[in-house]
Chain A
Amino acid sequence: MGDLTKSLNQIVSKILLLDEAEINDHTSRKDVKTWDSMTHLLLITELETAFGVMMSDDDIKGIRTVGDIKTILRKLDAHM
């Protein structure tokens, strides 16, 4: 597991109250009850702080799964 995945999973797990083990690229907003519009914004704030990036409005709205987050973080050349 890469560093990016590890710290990403920690953040996702703490905000959405999921076990780190059950988080994968397919973990999606559709399936996770705790992933509502509020926790979505919290997630974004934490990710931006942790990885030193600023996501665009389109990025933020486009995120449907944990895999999507990774794609965006890589695109933004996130610090790890």
Chain B
Amino acid sequence: MTTDEEQAVKHELDQALDMVREEPTHINYWNAFKRIQRLSLRTLKIPDDKKVRIALLSSFTVDQLAVYIDIGNRLIGLYPEMYVGPFNQYQQEILNEASTLYSFHPDVIILAVTDEDENFYTGFVNLSEEQKEHHQTEIISRFSSLISELSSRTDAYVLVNNFVVPSFSVLGILDNKMDMGLTDFFRELNGKLASLFRGSKQVYVVDLDLAASDHGKSRCINYQMYYMGRFGFSESFLPCIADVYMAYIKAIKNWTRKCIILDLDNTLWGGVLGEEGFEGIKLGKDPPGNAYLDFQRLLLSYYNRGIILAINSNNNFDDAIRVIREHPYMVLREKHFAAMRINWASKAQNMIELAEEINVGIGSLVFVDDMPQNREQIKRMLPEVLVVDLPPSPFLYKRTLEKLNDFNVLSLTEEDRHRGEMYYSQKGREALRRSKMSLNDFLISLQMKIAINPADSFSLPRITQLVNKTNQFNLTTRRYTDAEITKMAENEKEYGVLGLSLTDRFGDEGLVGAAIIRKAPDAWNIDSFLMSCRVIGRGVETAFLAKIVTIAKNNGVSKLIGEYVPTEKNQQTSHFYGDHGFELFQKREDLFRWRLDLTTSSMKSPEWVEISDG
């Protein structure tokens, strides 16, 4: 089998799945499923831990559910093989040792069944309490014997659904005045079913009743399709119930997330701390602060159940930690976080450091951040991280996180429940041990290439735009008009206007940095130095400054002067020149001037950034 063939199949597979990702409609699920079935999937070399064999047995038409489960597996990177048993023959399949079910050797058996005794409802009012109990016992023993047949013949996990408690009773408002009304009948039955398998490590009762309630029972069946084709679930309910099954499959395949990485501003509280201050952020009893409060409560309950929490935020550390320690309404405090990165480095870099410090794989992380561009950055650079598509409204944060089915394990140990605390004490012991090695590897893996060139007619508009809109990584925040910058660019004797473009292995970032230099005979003055936020923290800013040093030296200049003008937003750059060996020689409230003696010093450009001369 050639690699080309494998590539082609993989490409078609990705295309079909991307269609579903972009537009997860019923018709697209169906179309993707059918297209994928036509591919020769056997050409793909799949590691065993990514394979899963699922048998689906049912008392109704279940092909549509198979579609959603198949695609649901593929969307998270698993390679399922499905067997769908013949319509309403699940009992024969289970009882016949030679059936296709067993020769298929499933890892997971989904038993999607309803009670078929259609006369039961009609006569329900006339049944005595004893008869009702007898009927319950019958149903339970039928389940019990079928499933013990199953477990004696296979090691597969068995997922059997419970009963949907009917939302209609002919008894109406008197249903719960009976000794056992219809609602009670099914609730009790579900209770008995759950107790029957409570201790089992092989059989799990899927709470179909809960899933149906969550979706709305009246919307769970499309009656036209139910009567015409015995379709058990409506188009709108299928993705919901498939998600429930996926929760089990993820747990079975150890596809479990362990750690939630949280942003701070507009994620744990409302507003931007750097702009609104300790008193100004929204967290408390009034809306929207109450929604953030509830969101934190949910995170605390995850913590108590053993999910690790950590912070990845672009903020001033001192300001943010003060909120975490002292804000009266913070639910989550320092002790709840296994690790924190509150700085101005890139979120991707922080993410890698966090995974290392906590000692979990990147694939165990869930990232929660309100800013779409941060989410995009992580999705692109660290595709293994589960990036939550947080809705714009904080009122929906809690619901969104509750809907994740990625934290499931098949059993919960005492150790699991205390994992959060363990990490906190470990953090205390090891302080902030950082492994520089693999961060280095990460930066090298980005394959960054930069080009630094004097402004020309192509780059001028973009440079002007950057000069006028960059706030955070901007040393002086001096704004210039198009005409002013053009003039400076043309006057090469007195000015240098430089633009920096970056490409990495993910693509072309375009022009992301600019500098303006005022030239005097013996000293060059860096009037402006700025970069787009999305590329800082990767060493590119150092490479840029080092290049300016080199150019100055080549021009026989002996001194390079860097200026810093503090604003509300550029605190992260306050030590930029100091960190690069400049010495502070002039300090006014609104202007800091740093100096580098070019006759004695030089500056090293980071080896992971390749500089191409244009």
B60 at the interface (CB under 8 A from A): no
Q: Are A17 and B34 in contact (CB under 8 A)?
A: yes
The contact string, 1 if C-beta is below 8 Å from chain A, for chain B 26-61, is: 111011001100100000000000000000000001
Other-chain residue from A11, A34, A38, A54 in contact with B27 (beta carbon distance below 8 A): A11
Contacts of B175 in A (CB 8 A): none
Q: Is B172 part of the binding interface, using a Cβ–Cβ cutoff of 8 Å?
A: no
Q: Which residue of B lies closest to A46 (CB)?
A: B27
Query: Known contacts A15-B31, A17-B31: does B228 contact A41 (CB below 8 Å)?
Result: yes
Contacts of A17 in B (CB 8 A): 31, 34-35, 38
Q: Are A45 and B235 in touch, CB under 8 angstroms? A: yes
Q: How would residues 1 to 42 of chain A score, 1 for a CB under 8 Å from any chain B CB and 0 otherwise?
A: 000000000010011010000000000000000100110011
- Check A69 for interface membership: any CB of B closer than 8 A: no
Interface residues of A in 20-77 (CB under 8 A from B): 34, 37-38, 41-42, 44-46, 49, 54, 57, 60
Interface mask (B2-37 → A, CB under 8 Å = 1, otherwise 0): 000000000000000000000000111011001100
| Chain B residues closer than 8 Å to A42, beta-carbon distance | 27, 30
CB contact under 8 A between A45 and B225, given known A17-B35, A38-B63: yes
Report A37 CB to chain B, min CB distance, Å.
7
Q: Is B529 an interface residue (CB 8 A)?
A: no
**Nearest neighbor of A60 in chain B, beta-carbon distance:** B228
> Chain A residues near B199 (CB, 8 Å)?
none
List the B residue with the shortest CB-CB distance to A57. Answer: B228
Specify the main secondary structure of chain A where it touches its partner: helix
B222 within 8 A of A: yes
In which size bucket is the chain A interface?
10 to 19
Select one of B26, B34, B229 contacting A41, CB under 8 A: B229
Residue B68 at the chain A interface, CB threshold 8 Å: no
How long is the Cα–Cα vector from A32 to B28 in the complex, in angstroms? 20
Q: Of the candidates B27, B63, B222, which one forms a contact with A14 in the assembled complex, judged by CB atoms under 8 Å apart?
A: B27
* In-complex Cβ contact of A45 among B35, B63, B222 (8 A): B222
Interface size on B, residues (CB 8 A): 17
With the chains together, A37 CA to B224 CA distance in Å? 14
Cα distance, A14 to B33, chains bound together (Å): 11
Give the chain A neighbours of B229 by CB distance below 8 A: 37-38, 41
Nearest Cβ on chain B to A55's Cβ, whole angstroms: 9
Q: How far is it, in angstroms, between the C-alpha of A11 and the C-alpha of B548 when the chains are bound?
A: 59
* Chain A: minimal CB distance from B536 (Å): 45
A49 contact set on B, CB distance < 8 A: 235
The CA of A14 and the CA of B28, in the complex, are separated in Å by 7
Check: B524 CB closer than 8 A to any chain A CB: no
Q: Provide the residues of chain B in CB contact with A34, threshold 8 Å.
A: 34
By the criterion CB–CB under 8 Å, are B30 and A15 in contact?
yes
Contact with A along B228-244 (1 / 0, CB 8 A): 11010001000000000
CA distance A54 to B224 in the complex (A): 10
A44–B222 CA distance with the chains assembled, in angstroms: 12
From residue B262, how far is it (CB to closest CB) to chain A in Å?
39
Residue on A nearest B35 in the bound complex, by CB: A17
Expressed in whole angstroms, the Cα–Cα distance for A17 and B235 within the complex equals: 19
Q: Give min CB distance, A22 to chain B, whole Å.
A: 16
* CA A57 to CA B235, docked complex, whole Å: 19
Query: A37 to B228, alpha carbons, bound, how many Å?
Result: 10
Contact flag A14-B30 (CB < 8 Å), given A37-B229, A38-B63, A41-B229: yes
CA–CA, A14 and B61, complex, Å = 21
CB of A44, distance to nearest CB on chain B (Å): 8
Taking a contact as CB atoms under 8 Å apart, the answer to whether B28 and A41 are in contact is: no
Q: Specify which chain A residues have a CB less than 8 angstroms from the CB of B28 in the assembled complex.
A: 14
Contact call B27/A41, Cβ cutoff below 8 A = no
Q: How far is the CA of A42 from the CA of B63 in the complex (A)?
A: 11
Shortest distance from the beta carbon of A29 to any chain B beta carbon, whole Å: 15
Task: Give Cα A70 to B28, complex, Å.
Answer: 22
How far does the alpha carbon of A14 sit from the alpha carbon of B224 in the complex, in Å? 22
* A15 near B225: Cβ-Cβ < 8 Å: no
**Chain A interface residues toward B at CB < 8 A:** 11, 14-15, 17, 34, 37-38, 41-42, 44-46, 49, 54, 57, 60
For the complex of A and B, 7 pairs with smallest distance between CB atoms: A14-B31, A41-B229, A14-B27, A46-B27, A17-B34, A41-B228, A41-B225
16 extra interchain contacts, Cβ-Cβ under 8 A, other than A14-B30, A17-B35, A60-B228?
A: A14-B28, A15-B30, A15-B31, A17-B31, A17-B34, A38-B63, A41-B228, A41-B229, A42-B30, A44-B224, A45-B26, A45-B222, A45-B225, A46-B26, A49-B235, A57-B228
| B residues neighboring A (CB under 8 Å) | 26-28, 30-31, 34-35, 38, 61, 63, 222, 224-225, 228-229, 231, 235
Q: List 20 A-B contacts (CB under 8 A).
A: A11-B27, A14-B28, A15-B30, A15-B31, A17-B31, A17-B38, A37-B229, A38-B61, A41-B225, A41-B228, A42-B27, A45-B26, A45-B222, A45-B225, A45-B235, A46-B26, A49-B235, A54-B224, A57-B228, A60-B228
